[in-house]
Chains A and B, each alone.
Chain A
Amino acid sequence: MSDVIVIENLTKYYGKFLALDNLSLKVPEKENIGLLGPNGAGKSTTLKILCGLLKPTSGKAFIEGIDVITQPEKALSRIGAIIETPEFYSYLTPEDTLNYFGRLRGMKGEKLKKRIKEVIELVHLEKWSKEKIGKFSRGMKQRLGLAQTLLHDPSVLILDEPSLGLDPRGVVEFREIIIGAGKEKTVFFASHQLVEVAQICRKVAIINTGKLLAFDEITELEKKYQTLEQAYLKVTGGV
């Protein structure tokens, strides 16, 4: 099985602050990997570099063998991403927004129309598909964010706290959608919700202060530390 996401010695400074310190990680194809770590550990920075939003100070990152830093557009064509709480243009409707982003990815005509209908139904926004997004709650925007992530049926999903702002029913539905998608796709998924990560992922990477501290199967971590929570606490804080 080939590695779909490859991170090699990634280092990122924000001014003098070291956010990523020679981070290296490989995510195999069709594997669901959880990225865990406390606030400021470097999770979002890692995902933002993979999505071409940030440039690393040094190091390399590849998506399906494509260099994210030198060929960002080509690499981005392979991924669907939610980074932070997604914000949309408040004057557009979900249909407008999905049409916009779908067309930017080369989708058009009946195929695009059909796919928009499918993803809107998947995230249960049918009643709101023609309403301006300015009226939407945070949870509804999160649902729309997931719809745009899945719109072009990418082979790689990069998700940063994707269930943030969702109500309990939304969290469950969201998890089921990601688990379903994860059977066919590679999912790289940052979250603070250990229970959620354990339900979606087989393996986790734990990082802190920009360094990789552990990268193993959840069952192995549970054998070693009794629970995933204990593993997280001991690895990140020495508790």
Chain B
Amino acid sequence: MSEFDKLGVVIRYEFLKHIRRARLYIILGIALVAEALVLILIPALTDGYPESVKVMAGLLTVGASLAALGAVFFAGDAIAGEYEGKTGFLLFTNPVKRETLWVGKYLAGFIAVALLMIFTYFIQAIALLIIYQQVPVEIFQSFGIAMFYAAATLSTTFLFSAISKGSMGATIMTLVFVWVICGILESVLAFTGNPYWFVLSAGGDAIATAYGSLEQFLAGLGGLGSLGGADQMATMFKMPTLGMVSWGMAIYFVGGFVASIFLAKRRQLA
């Protein structure tokens, strides 16, 4: 039996675990609630929906961004959990390379996130069709960026899972890194007019900016766009291109994954 065949087996059963766990459905629920809130609050707080379908599409990416962060919850225990929960005593005594196990776990987690993402974009497209009778072609670009962001976040979580003693620690460390550290770094770099394409959270922003620039969003939101200094602030930001953001995410995707495999392979189950 080849390692490739074994990889297929690992993906199948790791994905089965995701399907059986409540967290998949909880994340999906949160993402859908976020999209519902956008659909309810925008017309409730302003004069109806924005004129531009792209602005509304950008606002609805909040669900996809949350779904992408679901990667953290799928991968937090991928490596650390085998050691913490001692399930590794059974799994690792099977004749399969550790690399095959980690790659299989990664792909199973990615498939789970991809399913969430497809569902949130489907809801987004339906909502846009109902409100505007059209769906911007940029939805594919946004979807691609969201998938790449999910892959990069998954790799980053794998890295924390490889170095962490416990699953919870890995999950919290990744969330702090993505939401707090990257968020602060991105804000500081953006407000000081410096490039920030290499910060992971810039990938999350690009899911929305795939539909248009920050200036276009602020202008499209009417009241918000006319707030003092908002336009000036938008022009001051050195908004990275989607290409640059993709390079940034590639660093996390490849670097995080390779480092996690290297570190996990050295780890022993005492």
What is the interface of chain A, defined by CB distance below 8 A to chain B? 14, 45, 48, 51-55, 73-74, 76-77, 79, 81, 83-89, 91-92, 96, 99-101, 103-106, 132, 145, 148
Contacts and interface: CB of A to CB of B under 8 A. Distances in A.
B269 A89 contact: no
Contacts of B96: 73, 104
Contact of B95 (A54, A73, A87, A91): A73
Interface residues on B, range: 20 to 34
Contacts of A73: 95-97
A89 B14 CA distance: 10
Nearest to B266: A55
Nearest to A49: B268
A5 to B, nearest CB: 15
Given A53-B269, A73-B96, A145-B90, 18 more contacts: A45-B270, A51-B92, A52-B93, A53-B88, A53-B92, A53-B268, A54-B268, A76-B95, A81-B93, A86-B90, A87-B85, A87-B90, A92-B20, A100-B9, A101-B94, A104-B9, A104-B95, A105-B94
Interface in B1-29: 1, 5-6, 9-10, 13, 16-17, 20-21
Contact of A84 (B1, B20, B89): B89
Given A73-B95, A104-B6, A86 B89 contact: yes
Given A73-B96, A91-B20, A103-B9, A14 B90 contact: no
B95 A77 contact: yes
A182 B120 CA distance: 56
Given A53-B88, A53-B89, A104 B17 contact: no
Contacts of A54: 268-270
A84 B94 CA distance: 16
Contacts, number: 76
A92 B94 contact: no
Nearest to A101: B94
Interface-central residue, B88, B93, B95, B268, by most chain A CB under 10 Å: B93
Contacts of A87: 85-87, 89-90
A55 B269 CA distance: 9
Contact of A92 (B1, B5, B16): B16
Contact of A76 (B20, B21, B93, B270): B93
Interface in B58-84: none
B93 A51 contact: yes
17 contacts: A48-B269, A52-B92, A53-B89, A53-B92, A55-B268, A73-B96, A74-B95, A76-B93, A76-B94, A85-B86, A86-B89, A88-B87, A89-B17, A92-B17, A96-B16, A104-B9, A132-B20
For the complex of A and B, the 7 pairs showing the least CB-CB separation, nearest first, are: A106-B1, A91-B20, A77-B95, A100-B13, A76-B95, A73-B95, A87-B86
A77 B268 CA distance: 20
B87 to A, nearest CB: 5
Contacts of A76: 93-95
Given A88-B87, A100-B9, A104-B6, A14 B93 contact: no
A135 to B, nearest CB: 13
Contacts of B94: 76, 101, 104-105
A105 B94 CA distance: 7
Nearest to A54: B268
A145 B1 CA distance: 24
Contacts of B88: 53
A54 B93 CA distance: 11
A51 B21 CA distance: 30
A148 B85 CA distance: 18
B248 to A, nearest CB: 35
Given A104-B6, A105-B94, A96 B87 contact: no
Given A48-B269, A92-B16, A53 B21 contact: no
